[in-house]
Amino acid sequence: MSTGSLSIYDTKSKSLHTIAGTDGVVRIYCCGPTVYRDAHVGNLRTFLLSDLISRTLQMTGLDVSLVQNITDVGHMADDFEEDKMLAESAKTKVDPFQIARTFEDRFHIDLERLNIEPAASYPRASEKMAEMITAIEKLIAMKRAYVGSDGSVYFDATSFPTYGALSGNKLDSLQPGHRYEFTDEGGKRFHADWALWKLAGARTQMIWDSPWGAGFPGWHIECSAMSIELLDAHVDLHLGGIDLRFPHHENERAQSNSLTGNETVDTWVHGEHLLFEGRKMSKSAGNVVLLQDVIDRGLDPLSLRFALLENRYRSQMDLSWASLEAAHSTLKRWRQLLSNAGTSAEMKFDQEVSDALTTDLDTPRAMQRIRTIEKDSTIGALDKRALFLFADQVFGLDLDRGVEQREVSSEIQALLDARITARAEKNWSLSDSLRDQLTNAGLEINDGAEGQSWSWK
């Protein structure tokens, strides 16, 4: 039995790629948050993907160097009207950089709550302006970019022959007005070109000096500049949500390949969309769910991680409160199982779990294998614990954390005793009423062959 290499689906080639890295190290770049608001559970699904891939690679014996950028400059305008960072600043009357630092801190708190291992580096776009300007100067010198008639700098899309290889979008069929691009770009030669540097115009905040005048970078150039600098101009795995495939990653690929003279990224991996209770999350629908919302419902934050593990990363997923509550209950049960088995830290290799995780990160199959092990009466408690710990290297569910022990008050104990008596007397209506009271007090009641049992929610 052995742990194989990770093979994962590459968006560009539409086939599985085996990830080997260089000299035992896999270089990963994952597009990070734009820190003008909290990351919602859909965003966190993408950030979890980078953690699951990193953990699986480490399970196979490879080291990982992960870079995840922090977009803290105001250059996104996906509603064609206002910049997100500056709009939030205008609404709250708070300095945009103060907003960025606040939500950046909250992003890291959410990662910790989800047991996502920290990246090697979290570069801020605002602190990489020199690298972006240098990259833009090089692109101009190569005639891959030009200064437009409006003074802003644009990438010449027609100068990159394989544009569209990642997304399937061909230049001759693209229509003007892409999402995430500014609309005041009258200085472009071709409507599919995109801004590398925008002149400030009337804008007075979040602007920097440059050879072309005060302004701010276009969205795509930050990822090219950061990945080339921090990962030695070669990225083994580039990760992001499926919504970034076009135009962001398509444009980033054109920039990066032009700058390095090579195919900079070996493998492009994209996580699919997350719905919540059948609908896309949006402010207008009022169904944006944050990790804090999960916690406020009394659920372990790792219930979200558990629920996400039960779905393939490149399949659209429909999350619900019911699935989160079920995950919370199973998580408690698994921790109790390990706690009952002792404190041994020994792990026991399982081929099925290993094969599932290394074959395009099939976490649902790996989770099902653990459920099967749980029910298998021929496997001893200590072996079950060791097998669970092996899977938890990647699952990251803190299964060895134990179950929280809390004393019950005399009032709650009286309700528990009264319910035992009611059931013995077959007074079912009173039994149900007492159950409701105990549930409201934070207990979860179970009736089995051995009688009443309970645990904290």
Half-sphere exposure of 256 (CA within 13 A, CB side): 26
Return the exposure string of 409-447: e unless at least 16 CB atoms fall within 10 Å of the residue's CB, then b: eeebeebeebbeebbeeeeeeebeebbeebeeeebebee
Instruction: Determine the length of the chain.
Output: 457
Q: How far apart are CA 120 and CA 117, in angstroms?
A: 9
Tokens 């590398």 belong to 196
Taking alpha carbons only, the member of 204, 35, 222, 28 closest to residue 125 is 222
Taking alpha carbons only, the member of 407, 303, 378, 389 closest to residue 345 is 389
Identify whether the C-beta of residue 456 lies closer than 8 Å to the C-beta of residue 300: no
The amino acid that residue 217 corresponds to is: P
Has 31 been labeled as part of a binding site? yes
Has 223 been labeled as part of a binding site? yes
Residue 286, classified by CB atoms within 10 Å of its CB into exposed (0-12), middle (13-18) or buried (19+), is: exposed
Has 30 been labeled as part of a binding site? no
Residue 196, classed as helix, strand or coil, is: strand
> Count of CB atoms within 10 A of residue 171's CB?
14
Give me the phi and psi of 185, to 5 degrees please.
-120, 55
Tokens 């919540």 belong to 276
Q: How far apart are CA 445 and CA 452, in angstroms?
A: 7
Q: How far apart are CA 75 and CA 82, in angstroms?
A: 10
> Count of CB atoms within 10 A of residue 336's CB?
13
Provide the annotated binding site for ATP.
283
Provide the annotated binding site.
31, 223, 248, 252, 283
Provide the annotated binding site for Zn(2+).
31, 223, 248, 252
